Each structure stands twice: as structure tokens, then as C-alpha cells.
Structure 1
């Protein structure tokens, strides 16, 4: 087991906890209405709610979309922090996952697409977190338009990769779990988009709920990489950074006694969720001499 297992679960725990704190702050500061509120008015008189209590009169401007919750200070400061730190952690998860799949001999366009979509998701998160919807609407919507579809594409591609690298029954079970999460994220994102374009207060509120569901499901999906990251080592990271170099060396080794083919076979049979790291290539001088 390695310390890298903390990264995906930390991303999920930090982000989910953070956005709910932002929501609670926005509700208490009368910047949005509670998510359980379904009653909205066209206009409202002067706010009479007591400080520290939710609003009693809500308009369409008070619908608790995630972006609306992080529009005004002080919660906007925390919202930006969550977006920036979360984006950095997303990039780290994507890079490690990309390298890990290569390490298991499954480099393909799906793996590359997963890396690109994950990094695009991170870029969108930075834009969403730093350009609040009520102050920089165009840039905020561009960020959301990149982050949401890219996040959905990432989880779908990772479902495919999980099936491809699965060795044990537990690996296949994890693939099934991820497919369930991917389906949930797809349904919630589509419903959120459908509801959001309507002017009905009820449908707008339903869009906000679907947006929250989508975000939480995606973050839970990122957390499932804890299952594989127990085997991440320095060799895993080098596999992604030096893919072309390693491929060239593999051709040279393959022309010898065939030791490279044996090493590749043993790598492919290793369970990606196993806790043992003993199957990494032995690069000692003695082994090179034998090859």
C-alpha cells in the first residue's frame, strides 16, 4: 500500500465537504434559499428573516445552484479555494491513473482521452471557481460548459479502462460500480440541462438538485481510484513520463532472449487493485546483464 490512496479519497472528502459548507454559508447569509424550499415568488418585499436563519421569501435569483452558492463573499472565497485545490488534485489523479494504465500495458486512445478529458475538467473547475456567475457570467458559463461534459466523458472512459485492465472478480465488481456512477452522472446532467432552460421555478429548482447530484456522483467516482492507487510507486509515474523511451527499450530487449515479453506478460496479469508492488520490473544490473 502507498500513500497515494489518500489522494482520491481526499479529493472526494475535501470537495464534497467544502461545497456543502459553501451552501450552508450562502443559506445563512441569505444569498440562496434552502434546497428543501420549493416555493418561489416573482418579487419579494424587504427581507425580514433574522440573521442566521434562512430566507423566508425566495425568488428565482435565490435558487441554490452550486454556482449561486459561491457568488458572494465570504463563501465565494472558500468556493474559489475549493475550485483551485480540487482542480490540482484532479490533475494529479488523472496523471497517476494514466501512468498506471500504461504500466499495465494498456496504452490506447481511451487512456489518452481520459487524461485529456480529466485535465479539461480541471481547467473548467478553475474557471468556475474563480469567475463567479453574478460577476463574470460569460467566463463562468464557459468554465461550466467545459467542466461538466469533460467530467462526464472522463468517467465514461475510465469505465472502459477499468474493464480492460480487470484481472480479478473484484476488479470487475469495481468496474460495475463505476458504470453505475457513470449512468447516474449522465442522467442527472441531462435532467439538469433540460430543467435549467425552462422558466418554471419548480423546474429551475429541480435543475439545481440534479446539478448537486451530478457533482457529488462525479466526486465519488474520483474517490473510487483509491482502489487502484495502493499499487502506485515511483515506477508508475515514470511509466507515464517516459512512455516513448520505455517503448524503444522494449523493442531492444525483445530482440534478445525474449525477457521483455515475459515481463510484459507478468505485468498484464497483475490486478490493478492489488496491494502488492512486487511485480514492478526489476531493473537491477544483474537482470539487465541476463537480458
Structure 2
């Protein structure tokens, strides 16, 4: 039985992540936990009650990301069996699935380890999500170019290339400007949830947050680009074989009784 929902996995992930950020931002601003003008995404999900929604939704998003990466791996592997791509594609595909799994883990860690509770683990998760996620997108971009026109057309490849380049720039930009802003305005994370234009380092902070929101937008847009390719994937129900031991059979089968 072919499951038609495969096509909706990237669409659902796009909507889920976007809804998570919008919901947590709206609650955080509404309760006065952050200023409305371009806070960090993590700032909008670090205090309760928005942190509960932020963590729960990102847990689900991380899991779906792993599913998407696995299906993409199986897709390229199956196409390789039919069309015999280069060995480079095979290697990229193997690296890609591990990068995809680590990205999903990073997304979950960002939601579970809020910056005000455990900043070190939060940063590990952020680097896995954004850093390894960027590597995953670059790998998929390379695979796309090497499998044209079987998987996608060149226009989509060029679009993915643009997104990948920005992800690289955005990843380094976010952390570089964040480092400069916190050096200019030392203090705890709680003290730096609300930034105003008169604070030292505000320009660096603003550059960092703008690049982070654009980076998140690039990420979910990239995820959405695999939708056309997933239209041609069918997944069948797994075959389950039930094994019954002789010991169990002996329990349910009464022994022959002689008269």
C-alpha cells in the first residue's frame, strides 16, 4: 500500500517550524519577555510558558527532520541502483544521512536546553542545527547537480546553491556578530533578553538577529524545495514476520493424553 503522505513531509516540517517560531515569538512579546523588534529566536523560547511550546514543537521537528533525511537517503540510493551514479554521489549520500540525523538532533537540543538553563548545551544544539544543517544542505545541493535531470532541474539546483551559500554566510555571521555584541555588553543571558538601541553593541546584536531570522527562513525554504521530488516516492508497509518459539507453542498446545 503506497502512502501518499510522503509528499507532505517537507511541507509539514516547513509549517511546523514556522508555526513554532511565530507562536513562541507572539507569546514572548505579549508577556513582555522580549522586545518586539528582532529578538534572537532562542530568546523567544527560553522562558515559560513559551519555552514549553518551543521545546515540544522542536522535538517533533527534529524527529521529522531525521525521517526526511532517511527518506532522501533511500531515494538517492534507489535511483543510484537504477541509473548508476558516480561513486561520489554514493559517498555524498552516506555522509548526508548522518549530517541529516545530527541536524535533527541539534533542533531537538535547541528546544530542550534553553539558553537560560544550559547555555553550553544550547549552543551545541544550535551549532548542530545550523552548522551541520548547512553542511547537509551543501551535500544535497551537490547531489542535485550530479543527478540532473533525474532528481530535479538545473533551476532548482541553482536556487539550492543560493540558499546554501547564504546558509554558510549566515551561520558564521550570526555567531560572529553575537560574540561582538556580548563582548560590547557583558552580562548574563537573562540581562540581555531585551536590547534597546541605546545599549553598547546594539548594532552587532541587530546584525546577528537579522542574519539568524534570515538563516532560519533559508533553512525551512530549502526543506520545502524537496517537495517536488518527494511526489515520486512510494513507501510500502513493512513486512512483519512473527516468530513463535517452541517454548511458546508448548504452552498453548496441550500435550496428547493417552487413554
Indicate the TM-score class for this superposition, using the shorter chain for normalisation: 0.7 to 0.9
Secondary structure at the aligned position of 2:226 is classed as helix
Partners of 1:169 and 1:162 in 2: CA distance: 7
> What number of residue pairs does the alignment pair up?
210
- 1:24 matched to 2:26? The reply is yes
What is residue 94 of structure 1 aligned with on the other side?
69
How does the TM-score come out when normalised to structure 2?
Answer: 0.76
Please say if residues 2 and 229 of structure 1, whose CA atoms lie closer than 8 Å, have aligned partners that are also in contact: no
Structure 1 residue 27: deviation in Å? 0.9
Structure 1 residue 170: deviation in Å? 5.6
What is residue 156 of structure 1 aligned with on the other side?
138
Please say if residues 3 and 230 of structure 1, whose CA atoms lie closer than 8 Å, have aligned partners that are also in contact: no
Alpha-carbon displacement from aligned partner over 1:162-211 (angstroms, at most 9, x marks no partner):
11111269622111111111112222222212211112122112211211
Secondary structure at the aligned position of 1:30 is classed as coil
Structure 1 residue 88: deviation in Å? 0.9
How does the TM-score come out when normalised to structure 1?
Answer: 0.68
Structure 1 residue 220: deviation in Å? 1.0
Q: Residues 167-246 of structure 1: matches in 2 within 5 Å? A: 167=149, 171-198=153-180, 199=184, 200-234=201-235
Please say if residues 4 and 230 of structure 1, whose CA atoms lie closer than 8 Å, have aligned partners that are also in contact: yes
Q: Residues 93-132 of structure 1: matches in 2 within 5 Å? A: 93-105=68-80, 106=85, 108-132=90-114
What is residue 46 of structure 2 aligned with on the other side?
71
Distance 1:120 1:208, change over 3 A: same
Partners of 1:108 and 1:194 in 2: CA distance: 34
Partners of 2:141 and 2:98 in 1: CA distance: 15
What is residue 43 of structure 1 aligned with on the other side?
none
Distance 1:119 1:168, change over 3 A: closer
What is residue 139 of structure 1 aligned with on the other side?
121
Partners of 1:169 and 1:9 in 2: CA distance: 18
Partners of 1:32 and 1:202 in 2: CA distance: 17
Distance 1:88 1:169, change over 3 A: closer
Partners of 2:27 and 2:206 in 1: CA distance: 19
Please say if residues 100 and 133 of structure 2, whose CA atoms lie closer than 8 Å, have aligned partners that are also in contact: yes
Runs ≥4 in structure 1, deviation > 2 angstroms? none
RMSD: 1.9
What is residue 83 of structure 1 aligned with on the other side?
58
Partners of 1:24 and 1:119 in 2: CA distance: 30
User: Can you give the 5+ residue segments of structure 1 that lack an aligned partner in the other structure?
Assistant: 37-63, 239-291
Please say if residues 11 and 86 of structure 1, whose CA atoms lie closer than 8 Å, have aligned partners that are also in contact: yes
Please say if residues 152 and 229 of structure 2, whose CA atoms lie closer than 8 Å, have aligned partners that are also in contact: no
